[in-house]
A and B are shown apart, each in its own frame.
Chain A
Amino acid sequence: MAEIHEKLTSLRFVLATTLLLASWFVFSSNSSEARELVGTQPSSPSQPFQWRLVWTSDPTSSARVCWSTQASTKKNVLHLSSSSGTSRAIPAGRNGAYSSSDKQSYYHHVTLEDLQPDTRYEVTLESDSVRSPDFWFRTASAEDGPMSLIFGGDSRSDPAERRKVNRLIASLAERNPSIVCFAHGGDYVNTGSSFNQWTQWMSDHELTTGRDGRLLPIVPARGNHDHGVLFEETFGFPSGDNNYFAINVGPQVRLVTLNTEISAGGEQKKWLESELETARKKDRFVVVQYHRPAYPAVKRPSSAKQHWVPLFEKYDVDLVCEADGHNIKRTVPIRGDKQDPTGIVYIGEGGLGVPQRVPKKDRWFLRSPGLADQGHHVHVLTFGSQLLSGKAIGLGGKERDSFQLLVRRSVLRREASTPVVHTKKLSSTKRDKNKAGG
């Protein structure tokens, strides 16, 4: 009896029990990645599938088209024709095998340049004489006028819900031709190094293509789950790219995409200040998107709060789009870390498929007139001559939130004194990694 008592009280026994219980947690977890692929089921290994159109540089004159094949194909070409009758065949500038330890599949990237603004282009992909269906896309306009974009984040973890949201995106773009692109705030997959998950995402992304073949350009931000090279291979970023850039999605709408997965306070911050200073002087609306929120509905503030929010406030950014929290949120206007009618509104926080969280509504910036809710959704942002309107649209097309933001007074004064004329090609700026330290 004394022996048993001694054994029961020994530290070794306690440790062994602890390890056994911990092991139960480890080995009983669900981690199966085998899932059915929806989207195009290639009829031959060379058939192009998993197409995506990416905007990371001037969308009035350029675009990147990416697609996959199951086999290594020698001749990969994009056939491009415009309404003016010109057509050309552009070989893929970058081809390779996705970085995958098991399933093998190949990516092909074509960078289109010298395009005309606000022009419809017909696109067909071809790999080793096997062609995709016909698609089309429209370049961004260089003429001022109302336009819209869709924003969302966190499409990971639940493919079934993600497909529903993707179909919603396609239907919204069909009904509203003024929607020019889809800004994604990051976290496309759960495990950034898992090709199985990326290939599933890419197949599901096909569902954002309209029934008439319209390719909706995606403007991708990087999330904390998107580590590894597959992110670059999916969206055609150069290897080692810092993944922050800014483009004019409309002549008066500057969309700045930042990367919360690298230093927020270093070179990116310097670039951001320069970018915002320039953008605020010439663009009516400046919108920023990135992944980890500065004013989160569920988590803790990211480094964005320390390093970027002061710049947003200094340069009067109109709207900030965030993700990562897995809910619907719209903060009160914030300036100096308190509610201020001249402040900045932060929306988000990721509802493209990820299971939703109950937000912490007691956080001061989420109280009325702010909003915190949960549900799969996208934000549709519409930019007019003096108003930025936003709506959170849930599955089934239900409106979950709406808001309006007036254009900044400084912009009104500027536009009143200087008419806006667009004759030149618009610019995009991108962090050039070759200028590191410069």
Chain B
Amino acid sequence: MVPSELLPAADSRETVSHAAVARQIVWILRLAIAIQAVGIASQYLYSQYEIESPLFNYLLYDREWPQDTAQYLDDLLVEGWLVVGLTLFIAPLATALMQRLGLLRVSEENRLWKIGGLLQRLLLGLILLVQLILVWAAWYRGTGERFNDLLPVEQSARWMIPVLLGLLLPRGGEVVSAKRFHTAMWLLRLTVAVTFFAHGLKAIYGQKDFIDYLLVAGSSLIGWEASEVAVTRLLTIIGWLDVAAAILVLARQWRSVAIYMALWGIITAYSRVVHSGMSSHFEVAIRSGNYCLPLAVLFYFRYTRSIQKLARRENAEK
């Protein structure tokens, strides 16, 4: 048994280890935001079949703005989103690299560091604002369409990323507090759960696009020429699996569930490319939250498992 006075205080060990995993999760979230920003820019600006956002459609059809003005604002928001999203990933990455190489010495008490933190939170707030506006506009304009009311929930893995990242960023020079970290982790799990739950419901109720994705994936990937009835049945099973995963990710900390969700998130995102070709590549990027957030959950579950193992070992040694 190790004398207690030789052990680091429980608080400080907890602080250090949760800070480490928080930093890992922060990088995952930064990456998710950057990938998403690239996807959004492709969808609304650069792809072969670029289109306008729901905000544009709202301004044009519901507010009767001139098309040029609505288009200008739409393009501005998307371009801003791209710049902000990439900045939130590249700037910290560059800072970390330069620090590692000794080219930059900025302590966490430095004023520049604090300003950088403030700027990041402001940029995250802007991204969140734009995302909420787009989700609302899409929901508003889709009134009456099937599954429309699920939209804000279904897309929570997109718009919750800036919220989660904002919670996990340290304030000034402080390590993110344990309380804020665990709050963020609960929100993370909840976000992943509701996203999968909403998609699961759509699958159970036979969303037409899901049927077509499965039909094409089955045919082109494994040569399975399935009937619509068979695919609809399979989709029902998949839907229930998603619902089960949504419940389990909240009720348990099973890494296998997080792995399933991360893999399924990227597979389903990529199914759009399988169905419609490389012109739909941005669909994978836009859905970065669907696979990055479960990946972050996996990291969290690994951390909690490590803490539990350590605690069990300590108890055994006592």
A residues lining the B interface (CB < 8 Å): 9, 11, 14-15, 17-19, 21-22, 25-26, 29-30, 157, 190-194, 224-225, 227-228, 261-267, 296, 298-301, 303, 305-307, 354-355, 357-358, 360, 363, 436-437
Contact = CB atoms under 8 A, between A and B. Distances in A.
A261 B207 CA distance: 10
Given A265-B211, A301-B276, A18 B228 contact: no
A355 B228 contact: no
B61 A157 contact: yes
B62 A191 contact: no
B163 interface: yes
Contact of B212 (A11, A306, A354, A358): A306
Nearest to B148: A227
A9 B216 contact: no
Q: Which 7 residue pairs across A and B have the least CB separation, nearest first?
A: A266-B228, A14-B125, A191-B144, A437-B229, A263-B211, A192-B144, A265-B215
B132 interface: yes
Given A29-B140, A267-B228, A358-B67, A22 B212 contact: no
Interface string B161-174: 00100110000000
Contacts of B64: 355
Contacts of B133: 22, 25
A14 B61 contact: no
Contacts of B276: 301, 305-306
A22 B208 contact: no
B4 interface: no
A437 B132 contact: no
Contacts of B232: 266
A265 B229 CA distance: 12
Contact of A300 (B51, B60, B228): B51
Q: At the interface, is chain A mostly helix, strand, loop or mixed?
A: loop
Interface in B103-153: 118, 121-122, 124-125, 128-129, 132-133, 136-137, 140, 143-146
Nearest to B127: A18
B163 A193 contact: no
Interface residues of B, number: 43
Contact of A22 (B63, B132, B227): B132
B49 A263 contact: no
25 contacts: A14-B122, A14-B124, A15-B163, A18-B129, A18-B132, A21-B129, A22-B129, A26-B140, A29-B58, A192-B144, A262-B208, A263-B228, A265-B211, A265-B215, A267-B227, A300-B49, A300-B51, A301-B276, A301-B279, A303-B208, A303-B275, A305-B276, A354-B61, A355-B60, A355-B64
A9 B145 contact: no
B128 A263 contact: no
B62 to A, nearest CB: 6
Interface in B45-72: 49-51, 58, 60-64, 67
A157 B141 CA distance: 12
Contacts of B137: 25
A30 B212 CA distance: 36
Interface of B is mostly: helix
B146 A436 contact: no
A355 B61 contact: yes
A195 to B, nearest CB: 11
B51 A225 contact: no
B125 A265 contact: no
A18 B60 contact: no
A19 B124 CA distance: 14
Contacts of A224: 145
A303 B167 CA distance: 40
B314 interface: no
B14 interface: no
Contacts of B144: 190-194, 225, 227-228
A108 B70 CA distance: 43
Contact of A29 (B50, B62, B124): B62
Contacts of A355: 60-61, 64
A227 B146 contact: yes
Contacts of A357: 60, 67
Contacts of B229: 267, 436-437
A26 B60 contact: no
B183 to A, nearest CB: 11
Contact of A26 (B51, B128, B136, B209): B136
A192 B231 CA distance: 27
Contact of A30 (B62, B121, B208): B62
Given A9-B118, A296-B49, A301-B49, 12 more contacts: A14-B125, A15-B128, A228-B144, A264-B212, A266-B212, A299-B51, A300-B51, A303-B208, A306-B276, A354-B61, A355-B60, A437-B229
B227 A306 contact: no
B84 to A, nearest CB: 14
Most buried by A among B67, B121, B144, B212: B144
Given A18-B125, A18-B129, A227-B146, A303 B49 contact: no
Contact of A303 (B118, B209, B231): B209
Contacts of B215: 263, 265-266
Nearest to B226: A266
Given A194-B144, A437-B229, A263 B166 contact: no
Given A192-B145, A194-B144, A303 B212 contact: yes
Contacts of A15: 125, 128, 163, 166
Nearest to A191: B144
B12 to A, nearest CB: 25
A298 B227 contact: no
B152 to A, nearest CB: 11
A437 B232 CA distance: 11
A354 B60 CA distance: 11
Contact of B227 (A190, A192, A193, A437): A437
Contacts of A298: 51
- Which interface residue of A11, A265, A305, A357 has the most chain B CB atoms within 10 A? A265
Interface in B225-264: 227-229, 231-232
A180 B279 CA distance: 40
A303 B232 CA distance: 17
Contacts of B51: 298-300
Contact of A263 (B125, B143, B212, B279): B212
Contacts of A296: 49
Given A21-B129, A266-B215, A227 B61 contact: no
Give the interface centre of B61, B133, B137 by most chain A CB atoms within 10 Å.
Answer: B61
A424 to B, nearest CB: 33
